[in-house]
Structures are given as C-alpha cells and as structure tokens.
C-alpha cells in the first residue's frame, strides 16, 4: 500500500504517533510526521489524494470526497431488535442458526457480518477487496467496545481478509462453509442508503460474476445468499430463483438452497 500515507491529527500526542507508526508497518504504508502541518500541504507535497489519519478517538480515511471511519451503522439497532426476538430479513434468508459458519464476501463496514457473528456465535470471515476499507474494518472491529456487549463480542469474532472474493473462493474446499453471503454495491444504488455514502468512493463496484456464485455454491453446505435492490435483474442473471424480503422493501435477498443444515 504505497500510494497512500498515514499520519496523525495536527495536534497529536505520543500514543497516536506510536499507533500510526505501527499501522504503517503493519499495512506497509509510509508514515509522515505531521508536525502541525496542514493536510492539504502534505498531500500536495506527496502528490497523494488519500490519507489515513490516526487520532485519539478513531482512525479515519480522508479522500477527495470527505472523511470516512468505522461505524457499526444499523448493526446496533438490528442487534437490539434481535435481542427482543424480532426478526431480521438477512438472517431469515440465511436461515442462520447458532454454530453455523458464514463467509461474508463483501464486508464493507461489516454491519451485516456483525449480525451474522452475533447470531452464529462463531467466527465469521469477511472479505473486502479495497485495502483501505479492509484496514478501517479490521482496526475498527479490533478496537470495538460498544455499549451493547453482544455487539462487541460479535466484532471480535470477525476475521477481515483484504482480497477479491472471486480469487479467495477458488481456494476453498467443497462444502466447507455453511452460508456464503454477498452484498455487492447495487447495480442501481439506493441513494438514500446513507450508511453506504462514505464508502462509495473506495468500494469495488464491479458486478458479482457468475463464476463467483458457482464457486460459492460449490463451497456452501447450506445456502448462498445475495442482497440486491428489489427491482434488480441480478437475481435472474446469477441464478437466484428464490427471493425473500418484504413486499414493499427496497432490498431483497436471493437464496440458493444447497442443503439442509443438520
Ligand atoms: C454494499 S457494501 C457491503 C456492505 C456490508 N454488507 C455492510 O453491512 O457494511 C459492498 C462492499 O463489498 C466490497 N466488494 C465488492 N466487490 C468485492 C469483491 N469482488 N471482493 C471483495 N469485496 C468486494 C466493496 O468494496 C464494498 O466495500
């Protein structure tokens, strides 16, 4: 990751400098000592648009279109609802039960993975193609300490891998994961989905390939699930004939049933 750099806030302390240093090493990025310099000046000097900034309260990415940082988004509200025994459409589509393994092929900021980890109570593997989004998710999940303790436990049960899912899926053995899940950037985005606004600039927007779905079907023991705009042709194109989601919901879940969970 050499075309980005990592620095601290303008007014910083020793802890942030040490943390920024160690992140730069971990992710193979350049560390730049901020020395109270305006960010615009450093960006110009290093001819670089995207910067990771380590502050006391959080790590964020500053891009040409604003700042983004890890946030559990709707996961907190969804977990509170689940704790009251309310239903969650994604979990219904997955038919997820305690102990089942989940591969989340499109991690983003991990809101869905948090719900999967909460329900399954076991490790969820999350794949994210963009290196900076993977970094933010990884560091945000590791540092998680939410007021809802179940959410914190779920966060610590997610393993983030920075990889394109098509490449990763090919390496997995047959029938090795219970549920394989895809939530790609929609072909026709729902622009009122505000939780996705910050990541649009960095996210991989390529359509899911039929090859990836075929591989997912080979790997899955139980189900392959695809989230998409309810009006999307992607369900047809990728072979999802069974669809679940509210009649008036803008989002639907396509299901390919592989086998019953025993
Ligand atoms: C709609 S967002 C996922 C949001 C996520 N489900 C959540 O709850 O926060 C889609 C994410 O998948 C990533 N992505 C898209 N194609 C991918 C691929 N082929 N491999 C891995 N990640 C991919 C994008 O970069 C983006 O971060």
Q: How far apart are CA 184 and CA 253, in angstroms?
A: 12
Determine the residue of 76, 108, 253 to mutate for testing ligand 1's pocket, defined as the one with the most ligand atoms within 8 A of the Cβ atom: 108
Specify whether 83 is located in the same domain as 157.
yes
Nearest atom in ligand 1 to the alpha carbon of residue 108 is 27
The CATH number linked to 219 is 3.40.50.150
Return the best residue to mutate from 124, 203, 207, 253 for the ligand 1 pocket (most ligand atoms within 8 A of CB): 203
Atom in ligand 1 nearest the alpha carbon of residue 130: 25
Per-residue pLDDT, 64: 81
Residue 119 located in a structural domain:
yes
- Give whole-number Cα distances, 237 to 89, 162, 211, 217, in Å: 22, 27, 12, 15
Q: Report how far ligand 1's centroid is from the alpha carbon of 199 (Å).
A: 9
- Closest listed residue to residue 76, CA positions, set 131, 150, 156: 150
Answer whether residue 238 is part of any domain: yes
| d(CA 5, ligand 1 centre) in Å | 23
Question: For residue 239, how far is the Cα from the chain centroid?
Answer: 24
How high is the pLDDT of residue 154? 97
Task: Give yes or no: residues 180 and 204 share one domain.
Answer: yes
Which is the closest atom of ligand 1 to the Cα of 110?
9
For residue 57, give the DSSP letter.
Answer: S
Mean pLDDT score, 130-145: 95
Res 262 pLDDT > 90: no
pLDDT mean across residues, the chain: 92
Question: Could you tell me if 109 and 225 lie in one domain?
Answer: yes
Query: Does residue 1 have a pLDDT over 60?
Result: no
CA of 138 to the centre of ligand 1 (A): 14
CA of 186 to the centre of ligand 1 (A): 10
Segment 155-168 shows an average pLDDT of 98
Pairing type for strands 59-63 and 66-69 reads antiparallel
Q: Which of 18, 39, 68 is the last residue of a domain?
A: 68
Asked whether residue 38 is assigned to any structural domain, the reply reads yes
Among 129, 134, 189, 227, the mutation site with the greatest number of ligand 1 atoms within 8 A of its Cβ is: 129
> What per-residue confidence (pLDDT) applies to 192?
59
Rounded to whole angstroms, the Cα distance separating 223 from 244 reads: 13
In a domain, 262, yes or no: no
In a domain, 95, yes or no: yes
Residue 168 CA, closest ligand 1 atom number? 20
How many A from CA of 240 to the centre of ligand 1?
19
* Residue 45 is assigned to a structural domain of this protein: yes
For the chain, what is the domain count? Answer: 2
Of 49, 68, 87, which residue sits at a domain end? Answer: 68
Flag whether pLDDT at 25 surpasses 60: yes
User: Within a domain: residue 51?
Assistant: yes
Task: Note whether 124 and 96 are within 8 A (CB).
Answer: no
Let me know whether 88 and 202 are in one domain.
yes
Of 50, 68, 86, the one marking the end of a domain is 68
Instruction: Verify that 47 and 114 share a domain, yes or no.
Output: no
Instruction: Examine the domain organization and report whether 42 and 124 are in the same domain.
Output: no
- Identify the pLDDT of residue 66: 83
**105 and 54 in one domain?**
no
Q: Are residues 108 and 218 in the same domain?
A: yes
For ligand 1, the distance from its centroid to the CA atom of residue 33, given in whole angstroms, is 32
Residue 79 and residue 61 share a domain:
no
User: Rounded to an integer, what distance in angstroms lies between the CA atom of residue 132 and that of residue 124?
Assistant: 20
CA 23 to each of CA 10, 54, 135, 218: distance values in angstroms, whole numbers, following the listed order: 18, 9, 9, 36
CA distance 197 to 56: 24
Residue ranges around ligand 1 (CB below 6 Å): 105-106, 108-112, 127-130, 133, 164-166, 183-185, 196, 199, 203-204, 206
Q: Is the dihedral of CA 227, 231, 236, 241 positive or negative?
A: positive
CA distance 149 to 156: 11
Average pLDDT over residues 205-221: 98
pLDDT digits (tens, 9 = 90+) for 61-71: 998 878 899 98
Are residues 187 and 111 part of one domain? Answer: yes
Instruction: Indicate the burial class of 50 (C-beta count within 10 angstroms; 0-12, 13-18, 19 or more).
Output: middle
What spacing in Å lies between the alpha carbon of 59 and ligand 1's midpoint? 20
- Residue whose tokens read 């007021």: 147
pLDDT value for 115: 98
pLDDT at residue 261, as a whole number: 66
Range of the domain at 34: 5-68
In the predicted structure, residue 194 carries a pLDDT above the cut 70: no
Å from CA of 126 to ligand 1 middle: 9
Query: Residue 224 has what DSSP assignment?
Result: E
pLDDT of residue 193: 61
């Amino acid at each position: 990751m050499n075309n980005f750099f990592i620095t601290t806030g303008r007014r910083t302390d020793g802890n942030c400098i040490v943390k920024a240093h160690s992140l730069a090493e971990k992710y193979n990025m350049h560390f730049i000592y901020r020395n109270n310099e305006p960010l615009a000046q450093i960006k110009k000097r290093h001819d670089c648009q995207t910067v990771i900034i380590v502050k006391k309260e959080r790590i964020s990415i500053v891009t040409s279109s604003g700042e983004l940082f890890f946030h559990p988004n709707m996961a907190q509200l969804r977990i509170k609802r689940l704790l009251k025994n309310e239903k969650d459409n994604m979990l219904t589509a997955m038919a997820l039960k305690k102990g089942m393994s989940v591969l989340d092929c499109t991690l983003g900021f991990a809101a869905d993975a948090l719900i999967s980890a909460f329900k399954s109570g076991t490790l969820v593997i999350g794949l994210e193609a963009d290196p900076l989004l993977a970094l933010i998710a990884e560091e945000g999940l590791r540092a998680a300490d939410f007021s809802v303790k179940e959410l914190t436990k779920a966060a610590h049960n997610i393993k983030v891998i920075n990889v394109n899912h098509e490449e990763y899926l090919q390496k997995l053995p047959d029938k090795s994961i219970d549920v394989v899940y895809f939530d790609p950037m929609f072909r026709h985005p729902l622009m009122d989905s505000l939780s996705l606004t910050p990541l649009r600039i960095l996210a991989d927007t390529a359509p899911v390939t039929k090859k990836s779905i075929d591989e997912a079907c080979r790997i899955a023991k139980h189900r392959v699930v695809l989230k998409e705009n309810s009006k999307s042709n992607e369900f047809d194109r990728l072979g999802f004939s069974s669809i679940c989601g509210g009649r008036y919901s803008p989002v639907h879940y396509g299901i390919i049933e592989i086998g019953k969970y025993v």
